[in-house]
């Protein structure tokens, strides 16, 4: 199980420090659950200090596909590792929707993350329109094919997939456990085809989209749901810790 908090564009540096301490205290010993927090770039170093010596790991919310260069406003993989990151979220639907992120771009970033020892959390998911049109699997399948082209994780811990139906993100509307399991099983099938069953079975597939303390256990109880990518509920230490315990 892996539970990651995506703080999105919330918390200034002081608030991020406070939240990081709160998360570490509330989570305590997470047992077998890998716990990750992904604060905004400017707070990465501060959060790294706060969680040092705790089981909580650090992740970023995005990065550029090059090491360095004239890319104003961007942040690179070596910068993230120097700030203490082990994980990076790639291809979040908000990046795709508002910042023109494409599957091909995500693919390049995955290779770059791997080249620098970062573990990418690769997001896929369909919109409500696509689901209503019966195209959810086609859309998610396409995102997987194009984002993961040429990707060869040297072990299953080096790649995480997050299924986040766009219609469930920040809306309070969660996929039912059956809907989540159905899509996770489909994703697992695709991963098995690409990486072989041994690796496919071991890869973490997270569910994201309005996960809360009240619905986490039921979602995480499904066979192919290996944890969650948590937005809103990751901004309260106690709620996030409750979701970790559900894992």
Rounded to whole angstroms, the Cα distance separating 225 from 247 reads: 10
Span 71-100, contacts to ligand PGA by CB under 6 A: none
Question: Is position 2 an interface residue for ligand PGA (rule: CB under 6 A)?
Answer: no
169 binds ligand PGA per the rule CB under 6 A: yes
Query: Which of 91, 153, 232, 247: binder of ligand PGA (CB under 6 A)?
Result: 232
- The smaller minimum CB distance to ligand PGA, of residues 159 and 229, is found at 229
* Sequence-ordered alpha helix ranges (H) in the chain: 13-27, 44-51, 77-82, 93-99, 103-115, 128-132, 136-147, 177-195, 197-202, 213-220, 237-246
Does the footprint of ligand PGA cover residue 199 (CB under 6 A)? no
CA 143 to CA 105: how far, in whole Å? 11
Q: Which tokens is 68 given?
A: 């360095």
Catalytic residues, by residue number, are 92, 164
Q: Which residue is nearest to ligand PGA (CB)?
A: 231
Residue 227 within binding range of ligand PGA, rule CB under 6 A: no
Indicate which single residue of 28, 117, 133, 170 sits in contact with ligand PGA (rule: CB under 6 A): 170
Q: What angle do CA 36, 198, 123 make, to 5 degrees?
A: 40
Binder to ligand PGA among 101, 126, 130, 164 (CB under 6 A)? Answer: 164
Count of chain residues binding ligand PGA (CB under 6 A): 13
| Distance of alpha carbon 44 from alpha carbon 73, whole angstroms | 16
Give residues in contact with ligand PGA (CB under 6 A): 6, 164, 169-170, 208-211, 229-233
């Amino acid at each position: 199980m892996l539970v990651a908090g995506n703080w999105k564009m919330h918390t200034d540096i002081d608030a991020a420090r406070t939240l990081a301490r709160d998360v570490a205290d509330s989570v305590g010993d997470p047992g077998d659950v890998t716990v990750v927090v992904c604060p905004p770039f400017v707070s990465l170093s501060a959060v790294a200090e706060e969680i040092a010596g705790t089981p909580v790991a650090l992740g970023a919310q995005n990065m550029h596909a090059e090491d360095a260069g004239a890319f104003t406003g961007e942040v690179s993989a070596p910068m993230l590792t120097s700030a203490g990151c082990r994980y990076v979220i790639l291809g979040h639907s908000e990046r795709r929707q508002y910042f023109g992120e494409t599957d091909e771009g995500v693919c390049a970033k995955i290779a770059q993350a791997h080249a620098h020892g970062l573990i990418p959390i690769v997001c896929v998911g369909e919109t409500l329109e696509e689901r209503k049109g019966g195209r959810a699997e086609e859309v998610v399948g396409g995102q997987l094919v194009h984002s993961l082209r040429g990707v060869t994780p040297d072990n299953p811990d080096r790649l995480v997939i997050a299924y986040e139906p766009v219609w469930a993100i920040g809306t309070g509307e969660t996929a039912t456990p059956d809907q989540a399991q159905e899509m996770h099983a489909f994703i697992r099938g695709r991963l098995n085809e690409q990486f072989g069953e041994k690796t496919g079975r071991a890869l973490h597939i997270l569910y994201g989209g309005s996960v809360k303390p009240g619905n986490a256990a039921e979602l995480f109880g499904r066979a192919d749901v290996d944890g969650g990518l948590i937005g809103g509920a990751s901004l309260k230490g106690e709620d996030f810790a409750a979701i970790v315990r559900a894992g």
